[in-house]
Structure 1
Amino acid sequence: MSERAMQELALLVLTALADAPRHGYAIAQEVRGITDGRVAPRTGALYGALDRLVAEELIEVRQEEIVDGRARRVFALTPGGRERLALEAERLAVAVQEARRRLGLGGTPVTA
């Protein structure tokens, strides 16, 4: 697992899959919903991110089917993907808490 911060689209895809397996179009819809429409991934970017996450074993293809003559893959979070998402969520929470503290918006320093 990488210690680097995760790219936003990868983080959003993992978040979209955290509660249920989904196919590509449903993942894109979830990402739009999570971000209130701020992020609307293009097909190429989404499937590139999905392929990278599969290669990193953070997600897996749970099911493949043909719908209206087109292949549809259903993706699911792996245990490693769930762990990575939890770590990333914690990293972001610490950063947000510190930003809020420095802006005088509340919060206390986090000790590591």
Structure 2
Amino acid sequence: MSALTEFGRFSEPALLILVSLAEGPKHGYAMQDDIAVLTGDRPGPGTLYGAIRRLEEQGFIQPLPEREGDRRKPYQLTDDGRAALQAELARIRAVATTGLRRLALS
């Protein structure tokens, strides 16, 4: 399994997409709305769909079957995506914990 840090400048959008999908399947527009609520910033379509494509290529997310008459394509986390998200959140927690502890000492 690869890590989200391998996504380079797209690692933050990829992380936010995985966090959004951890709640359940969503299509792109719903992910944009959810990410805007989480961060106060709505990702543009190029950033969002570029990260979705890379996440799908890595096997972290997968599309669900499209419903007849609905142009939106919902995605869901895969088991590998859930594991990558857990690993990245644990890494972020460790960095945050260390940073906050060091700030308290200064």
Using structure 2 for the length normalisation, give the TM-score. Answer: 0.87
The alignment status of 1:31 with 2:10, answered yes or no, reads: no
**Structure 1: 4+ residue segments shifted above 4 A:** none
Residues matched between the structures, number: 100
Distance 1:96 1:55, change over 3 A: same
8 Å contact kept, 1:14–1:85: yes
Which string of whole-angstrom CA distances, capped at 9 and with x for unpartnered residues, describes residues 43-98 of structure 1?
1111111111000000000122333xxx2100000000000000000000000000
Structure ID, larger Rg: 1
Q: Which residue of the partner structure matches residue 86 of structure 1?
A: 86
Counterpart of 1:73 in 2: which secondary structure? coil
Asked whether the equivalents of residues 4 and 15 of structure 2 are also in contact (C-alpha less than 8 Å), the reply is no
Task: Say if 1:4 and 1:55 are closer, same or farther in 2 by CA, change over 3 A.
Answer: closer
Q: Which has the higher strand share?
A: 1
Partner Cα separation in structure 2 for residue 4 and residue 49 of structure 1: 11
Unaligned ranges ≥5, structure 1: 106-112
- Cα distance in 2 for partners of 1:77, 1:4 equals 14
* Percent of matched pairs sharing the same residue: 38
Q: Which residue of 2 aligns with 1:102?
A: 102
CA distance in 2, matches of 1:52, 1:58: 9
Say if 2:24 and 2:76, in contact at 8 Å, map to a contact too: yes
* Unmatched runs of 5 consecutive residues or more in structure 2: none
> Is the contact made by 1:60 and 1:78 (CA closer than 8 Å) also made in structure 2?
yes
1:28-67, aligned counterparts within 5 Å? 28-35=32-39, 37=40, 39-65=41-67, 66-67=69-70
Provide the aligned C-alpha RMSD in A. Answer: 1.5
